[in-house]
Structure 1
């Protein structure tokens, strides 16, 4: 039996538009296709194959990918993913022949106006044009993660847990118990559930003592509820040692230096509501947060004004901001200085996965005052265009 050929393709969103290829072949009507190609034996997974194809065809990196469509024929299978473009540098392409391979951007609702193939995918995109971007873009309708922190006090001491093997902020202390609100669950019910699961205790009445709208430096925002348990039954134990190395009591005035900053602010808050992390972050904060998020690679790009215009690298097909990967042992400041001198100020960030499967975070910094005017018709990802326009 012949092996089944498996290809992967991307509905790659750049802002509101899909990045497509227009193909022109002799004797055939022009047609539009998504970037992608066949899975090779050296690819670790279908997703790895997709990211390799994006690199080869577009010099592109993308954020998280979501499979949304499959097409199966005898001896052939195609899986289509939705993804959002983070960065594109066409000079990185290693496709040998890009002739008749024009890059175009088309709104998904306009796919029906062109010869988009295959027809099954064309109909799928038309039917789901309003939904597809929301799968990879939280900005469409804000649905924040809701954190629920239960504070247990013993006199002037509060109980904390040392995070372990969770994938985020491991080796730092957090409120104990704490967790995320589940769908259909009240904040109070979530607090009681977390106390039961993480500490093996039953809490009495819970009071909401503080609400925080928190944003991690260079990352997404979330809502945090801080609850105080008036009483509890049982003795707190570390009931989830796979996620928590140990639990301990600490005086509120002497919390460990490696306590999550938002947790410190929530414990020390005096009731009501607060914003935390919304001020422009320092470079050290950005790097610390990237480490908490287990980013294996950091990239920096700069917004700089030169001779009244925006500093860009341009070729016949696209424009891009100067950018570089931070070298081992190099600080963010040093990497930025390699691109352009000037005091850096954080402008934005996006997470990505490289073609080799490395998880990374790309930061953009302003290093000069804005230019006299912003050029029109920039041929770069919408995310960067938006940063330039808001500079």
Structure 2
């Protein structure tokens, strides 16, 4: 039996109809009691000088419910426990095409919102070997500080994240906008 084609990225990546690696992903916008946003900074395995900030989350297994996958990813990447019922949304969907490790990838994402306590310790104990290679830090951001960092050249995905989170702090209105970042 041959190994499934994973492009060196992980087993959840499969060839799309056009041959481009594809996966479904769940992302969680984690906000603490001070309205700070927890983000992860990573770099490209194929171009280590390229880095960006992004929300916690990752691939959803083929048979996995997206909320279950989101909760699992929060625990694996941060050590924080968030149940599927604690997730608000989806507050955003996103289609993206991006290069990672010199491979063009396509990903469809659902974003959820969850409130957590900053008093709970954040841990990278659940990171995979690939994550340990490409993830550099986790940090709580005040939105004004994040917006200033973006203005100064920091890269954040999705790009409108500071404005999206600011709009969600007063509560979710039930809408699920779609962000298409799928042009290469």
1:9 maps to 2:27: yes
- 1:29 is aligned, of 50, 73, 76, to 50
- 1:95 is aligned, of 122, 125, 128, to 128
Q: Which residue of 2 aligns with 1:111?
A: 146
Whole-Å separation in 2 of the counterparts to 1:126 and 1:7: 20
- 1:132 is aligned, of 156, 168, 175, to 168
Matched-pair contact (CA < 8 Å) for 1:68–1:80: yes
- 2:159 is aligned, of 122, 125, 132, to 122
Matched-pair contact (CA < 8 Å) for 1:61–1:88: no
Whole-Å separation in 2 of the counterparts to 1:41 and 1:22: 26
Cα separation, partners in 2 of 1:101 and 1:130, compared to 1, 3 Å: same
Cα separation, partners in 2 of 1:81 and 1:116, compared to 1, 3 Å: farther
Cα separation, partners in 2 of 1:30 and 1:92, compared to 1, 3 Å: closer
- For residues 241-320 of structure 1, the aligned pairs below 5 Å read none
Matched-pair contact (CA < 8 Å) for 2:77–2:124: no
**Number of residue pairs the alignment of both structures matches:** 132
Q: Deviations over 1:186-241 (max 9, x none)?
A: xxxxxxxxxxxxxxxxxxxxxxxxxxxxxxxxxxxxxxxxxxxxxxxxxxxxxxxx
Q: Deviations over 1:322-346 (max 9, x none)?
A: xxxxxxxxxxxxxxxxxxxxxxxxx
Matched-pair contact (CA < 8 Å) for 2:51–2:155: no
TM-score under structure 2 length normalisation = 0.59
Higher RCO, 1 vs 2 (CA within 8 Å, ≥6 residues apart): 2
Cα separation, partners in 2 of 1:31 and 1:92, compared to 1, 3 Å: closer
Q: Which residue of 1 aligns with 2:7?
A: none
* Structure 2 spans left out of the alignment, 5+ residues: 1-15, 98-105, 173-184
Whole-Å separation in 1 of the counterparts to 2:141 and 2:122: 19
Q: Which has the larger radius of gyration?
A: 1
For residue 47 of structure 1, report the CA deviation from its aligned partner. 0.7
Q: CA RMSD in A?
A: 2.8
TM-score under structure 1 length normalisation = 0.30
For residue 8 of structure 1, report the CA deviation from its aligned partner. 1.1
